Amino acid sequence: MAAIFYAGDSTVKFNKIATYPQTGISQAMLWYLKDSVDMKSFAQNGRSTKSFLEEGRLSSIEKEIKKGDFLFIQFGHNDEKEDVERHTDPETTFPENLLRFIHTARDKGAYPVLITPIARRLFNSEGVFLPGSHGAYPDAVRRTGKKEGVPVIDLTAITEAYLASVGDLASKAYFMWPGDNTHLKPEGAVLMAGFLCQELKKLGSPYSDLLEDGGPIKENEGLDVS
């Protein structure tokens, strides 16, 4: 049985009833995965690559992950925070930390997958979507993936294009709005997981082998993600 080990933050975390309706992408992915695929979500609220590593969470993954498994790596929301416990530099420490995740997966014979952070739901007073809320961090993920030969699923580009297309009002249904333009409701998590799974499908085997055949995997064709 293949397993997905998912490292990330609160947008990824598997939530319980105490935080309902907040829902993470790792949680919603269960709708799309084959029954034989095990989801092991190690994502936690507020974590950056730095705090995730320093708390020993990657070490915990290393103890369990095995040949043929997958390590999904999705950070950026908290690496951009200014506090010393979490902040990393997108040119230096952030990609260096990503390499530690990649090497851990490869050393165990697992498949690393880099995933850029989902866009924040930000619109101006005229209802125009404002891209770029994660600054240089998504591009750092893209560069690291290209340099290391690791697949990159660019959820930043996909979700920015999607939010711009559906607009301010409609996009509120996917987030913990009002007052929260970062975390997802169940509908939003299913949508974002659908985007992720659509990209896994495009990568082909072994990534597409994780997915249930058929079903409402969300297409992002036609969206401008350039």
- Structural tokens at position 110: 């697992």
Strand order in the sheet with 111-115: 38-41, 3-7, 70-74, 111-115, 152-153
Distance between CA atoms of residues 64 and 130, nearest Å: 40
pLDDT of 22 > 60? The answer is: yes
- What number of helices (H) and strands (E) belong to the chain? 7, 5
> Which residues are CB-contacts of 127 (< 8 A; sequence separation ≥ 6)?
167, 168, 169
Fold assignment, 3-210: Rossmann fold (3.40.50)
Strand, helix or coil for residue 82: coil
Residue 158 vs residue 1, higher pLDDT = 158
Q: Where are the beta strands (DSSP E) in 18-80?
A: 38-41, 70-74
pLDDT of residue 60: 98
Q: How confident is the model at residue 1 (pLDDT cuts 50, 70, 90)?
A: confident
Distance between CA atoms of residues 27 and 30, nearest Å: 6
Average predicted confidence (pLDDT) for the chain = 94
Distance between CA atoms of residues 145 and 113, nearest Å: 8
Mean pLDDT, to the nearest integer, of 121-146? 97
Backbone φ and ψ for 115, nearest 5 degrees, come out as -135, 125
pLDDT of residue 226: 43
| Helix ranges, the chain (H) | 25-28, 49-54, 57-64, 93-107, 137-148, 155-171, 186-203
